[in-house]
Structures are given as C-alpha cells and as structure tokens.
Amino acid sequence: MNTEQYTQHTLSIRLSADGFSFSVTSYTDKESFQYETLRIQPNISLTANIKQFLYPNELLQHQFKNSNILIDTPHYTTVPFELFEDEQAEAIYYHCHPQRPGEKVLYNILDRCNIVVLFAIDKSTYSLLKELYPQARIFASISPVIEHLAGKSRIGNNCKTFLHLGRRTTDFLVFDHGHPLLINTFATQGSNDCSYYALNIWEKLKLNQEHDELYIIGNQPHKEEVAEELRSYIKSVSILNPTAEFNRSAAASNSEVTYDLLSLLHTNL
C-alpha cells in the first residue's frame, strides 16, 4: 500500500491499560485490513506511552480519510438524550464518579438507542491525541458496543441480555427491542462473578427465564464456563461468534481484535 492510498482509509486506535492496538481499514476494499498491537509500560503515564509508541510509527503519521480513537474505560455514565445538555456533562458525570484532577469529560451521542455516554480522559492525553489527530472522533469503549447491540436487540419479540466479558470487568447490557433497560460494568474475577451479576440483574428486571435470551460476547477463556453455569437457570444462553456476527469480515476473522473495536468498525457511529 503506497502513501497516497491512505487518504481512502480509516485509522482506528484503541487505548487500554492492557495495551494499545490500531487498525487500518479501506473504504474501497473490504478485505483490506491491517491490525497491530503494542505493549505498554505500566510504570509510566498513558500520555508518555502514547508518545513513546505512536510518534515513531511511520504508518500512524500518514493522513487518513477518518480517524477514530477508542478509550477502554469501565468508568462511564449513560443519560437519556432528551434529558441531556452538554453544559451539564461534567456535573452529571461527577455525580456518578469521583472527580480526579486533570480530567476532561467527553460524551458520545448514540442515535440507535437515543442515549448519551459520558466518560472522562486525562487532559494531557486528550491534548496529545488532538495534536496528532485533530479530526479524530474519540469514543468510550462501551459506546460502539451499545450501538451495535441495540440494533441486534430489535430482532424477535423478547428482551435480550448481553454479557461482554473482559479480563477484569464484564459489561452487562439489557435491551427491550432496542430500548436499553440496563447498561453497567462490574469488576469480575472468573465465571462465578459473571453468573452472580447476570442472575441478579435478571431477578431485578423480572426477565423471563423461558422466553428472554442471554448472549455472551468477548474472547475470554471462561466464556464457556459462564454459559454452562447460566444454562442451569436460563433456557436460552448463547455464545456469539464474531466471525459469523460480523459477516466474516477480515477484521472479525482476526481473533485478537476486541469486540468493541469490531463494533466500531461495523457500526455507523
């Protein structure tokens, strides 16, 4: 791929405490997909890691048609769009989360389910990212997952619960035909924690064990365990295969690509 061709591509960068990754996808060739992961140094700041790994990378210095930045954070707040005013973003977010010095509160508007996701990012990190990619759109990692699953939840005539398994956390998302009933993230260690929270949510929301459905997503090794535990209580429990779910795209065929990044790449945000 020569330099000129990058102007017809999208760059998507994912920043996480577990490591960075980036992908380059083409507008003209659906099978054109580059993906790379980068180790980080946990003893230095996120901003310092970005400088150390992104500045020397020649590919990331090119001009792209679009650029997206995905911030992997378990700290976020959702607000109904009709109740949201941007000047109140900080007040709403810090009503739900402790205020930390040097943060900037951002938000994503999700059209499919009519909600706003509020999240925070270190101000120095934000300034550096905007310096590198002035036109970049910045998303909380949960945002494309919500938007993608809201669309999937409209199929059928029942409520759908999704467990998005991570290394240290699990996202729990419950929809009633695209309408979010619950979106939350809990710290989890293994299958027992996941099952406990899932069953507690089903009880609180009075979901139907015979009629409603539960789906497990993510590439964590304990997903089979979680499924088996929950099948003792819920009739319809399935593990989603991203390759089939995302139409066997080049990105979905790579097992290293995270579900939130796949959702971002395949959802019109």
pLDDT digits (tens, 9 = 90+) for 39-52: 888 888 889 998 88
Q: Which of 156-160, 244-248, 256-260 bottoms out in mean pLDDT, i.e. has the lowest?
A: 244-248
- Is residue 2 very low, low, confident or very high in pLDDT (cuts 50, 70, 90)? very low
Tens digit of each residue's pLDDT (9 = 90 or more) over 142-162: 999 999 999 999 999 999 999
- Is residue 5 very low, low, confident or very high in pLDDT (cuts 50, 70, 90)? low
User: pTM of the entire structure?
Assistant: 0.94
Domains of the chain: 147-245 (3.30.420.260)
- Is residue 8 very low, low, confident or very high in pLDDT (cuts 50, 70, 90)? confident
Tens digit of each residue's pLDDT (9 = 90 or more) over 190-226: 999 999 999 999 999 999 999 999 999 988 899 999 9
Average pLDDT over residues 64-68: 91
- Is residue 62 very low, low, confident or very high in pLDDT (cuts 50, 70, 90)? confident
Please determine, for residue 3, whether its predicted confidence score (pLDDT) is greater than 60: no
Task: Give the rounded percent of residues in the chain with a pLDDT score beyond 70.
Answer: 97
Question: What is the predicted pLDDT for the residue at 73?
Answer: 95
Length of the chain: 269
Q: Quick one: tokens of 236?
A: 């319809």
Question: What is the predicted pLDDT for the residue at 1?
Answer: 44
Q: What is the mean pLDDT of the chain?
A: 92
Please determine, for residue 117, whether its predicted confidence score (pLDDT) is greater than 70: yes
Residue type, 115: I
Please determine, for residue 91, whether its predicted confidence score (pLDDT) is greater than 90: yes
Question: What is the predicted pLDDT for the residue at 54?
Answer: 80
Question: What is the predicted pLDDT for the residue at 40?
Answer: 87
Average pLDDT over residues 20-34: 83
- Is residue 53 very low, low, confident or very high in pLDDT (cuts 50, 70, 90)? confident
Tens digit of each residue's pLDDT (9 = 90 or more) over 178-187: 999 999 999 9
Please determine, for residue 80, whether its predicted confidence score (pLDDT) is greater than 70: yes
